Amino acid sequence: MGNSYFYPSLARDAGTCDRGQAAPLHGAYAGENVPNPLPQERNNQVSVMNLIAALESLAPELERGLDQALDLSKLEEIRVEFLGRKGRLAQIMARLPELSPEEKPAVGKKANEIKARLNTLFDAHKHTLEKSGEKAYLTRFDATLPGALPWLGSMHPISQVTEEICSVFEALGYDVVDGLEVETDFHNFQALNFPKDHPARDMQDTLYVNEGVVLRTHTSPMQVRSMLARKAPPLAIVAPGKVYRRDSDMTHSPMFHQIEGLLVDKGISLRDLRGSLTAFVRRLFGPAVGVRFRPSFFPFTEPSAEVDISCIMCSGKGALHGETCRVCKGTGWLEILGCGMVDPNVYKAVGFDEECTGFAFGLGVERVAMLKYGIGDLRLFFENNVRFLGQFA
């Protein structure tokens, strides 16, 4: 018969073809438009028998079409022809309203059966094509060829240095704490003994969210919050995190990272401060590095000091290859952190006993990373240059 339907009763009634002659009906897979699968009857009516016959003819028609589908794209064309919104099944069902209410259930039931059958045939052939495609791919696959290694990321150098610093203090018994980046004036300045007229409170240096609320300028507020939460010594913490200041050049960034530490107990002296920080610096930069403490000033510590290390580029000589060292500018020393004994006013602000003693310190993580890796421009850490960051993988 080919791609055709034969309805003897319709041929007799409509007079469109001779007895026993099939009216040709070609599918979309043959490259032609899909015709109406039902011939028009006189008075525009259609019988139940004709609709059921048309429905039952769809399955063998689909089977013949599937035999011609050698790839998934051709298979999709056939699916649309038979099961699409304007496909053969839909065209037959469009004649359903012409039936009487008593006739519709039988045709509807048959339509559901045929639709399920069509979907089963389609899914089976699709599975066969996918399996054959997979088999063909595996036939071409050469397991002896070298594989393509995936690109692996790594920790950012700032994160690496932060973890290294924290691990040193954790080994000394310190706890690592984290906190808010948006702080109150009390925690960021007032409790740390910053007077009202201190330059750090000026809007030229500090980023204000609103009156009394700032982006923290250091991680020292975590020292205040930890003491308020603990209520009494002993207390040993380090607080890493992002801080914000209105500054930007080759060695400064509006956002950077700090680690601040605090040790409070009874009987803590400057000797403990010096011993702890000397051990930390030599653990980070090596046992041969020189360390010195210089007098300085910070509002929340008294006495205060700056800690310098011998220049890692010229080994503290001040000159390299007969020329003045550009890193230490000929001094042989590099500033690494600030520290001091906690000011008694800080203890008053948090309600600690005045007999408590302790020390605090703070350092910039970018500063340590620049010295550790010999990097001259702070901005390289924030440009996300994969070639630069790949050196620390």
Do 193 and 83 share a structural domain? no
Do 309 and 171 share a structural domain? yes
Of 84, 113, 140, the one marking the end of a domain is 140
Confidence of residue 320 (pLDDT cuts 50, 70, 90): confident
Give the residue numbers spanning the domain of 128: 4-140
Burial state string for 333-354 with b = 16 or more CB within 10 A and e = fewer than 16:
bbbbbbbbbbbeebbebbebee
Give the per-residue pLDDT at 364: 92
178-219 confidence digits (pLDDT tens): 989 999 989 999 899 887 777 767 755 788 898 889 999 999
Q: What are 13's two structure tokens?
A: 């009634």
Do 286 and 218 share a structural domain? yes
DSSP 45-106: ---HHHHHHHHHHHHHHHHHHHHH--SHHHHHHHHHHHHSTTSHHHHHHTTGGGS-TTTHHH
Do 69 and 134 share a structural domain? yes
Do 344 and 287 share a structural domain? yes
Give the per-residue pLDDT at 250: 67
Q: Residue 189 CB: number of other CB atoms within 10 A? A: 23
Do 185 and 39 share a structural domain? no
Stretch 277-294: mean pLDDT: 93
Do 190 and 89 share a structural domain? no
Query: How many independent structural domains does the chain possess?
Result: 2
**Cα–Cα distances in angstroms (integers) from residue 388 to residues 121, 156, 167, 174, 251, in the given order:** 57, 10, 25, 33, 17
Residue 314, domain member (yes or no): yes
Q: Which of 148-152, 327-331, 386-390 has the lowest mean pLDDT?
A: 148-152
Q: What are 337's two structure tokens?
A: 């952190």
Do 170 and 278 share a structural domain? yes
19-35 confidence digits (pLDDT tens): 333 333 344 444 444 44
Q: What are 173's two structure tokens?
A: 């018994």
Cβ contacts of 48 within 8 Å, gap of 6 or more = 99, 103, 106, 107
Stretch 299-312: mean pLDDT: 92
Stretch 50-58: mean pLDDT: 85
Give the per-residue pLDDT at 163: 95
Do 316 and 289 share a structural domain? yes
Residue 145, domain member (yes or no): no
The more confident residue out of 325 and 341 is 341
Q: What are 209's two structure tokens?
A: 């969210």
Of 91, 113, 140, the one marking the end of a domain is 140
Residue 147, domain member (yes or no): no
- Please say whether the beta carbons of 359 and 270 come within 8 A: yes
At residue 48, does pLDDT exceed 90? no
The more confident residue out of 99 and 23 is 99
Residue 152, domain member (yes or no): no
Do 231 and 186 share a structural domain? yes
CA–CA distance, 382 with 384 (Å, rounded to integer): 6
For residue 26, report the phi and psi dihedrals to the nearest 5 degrees. -100, 145
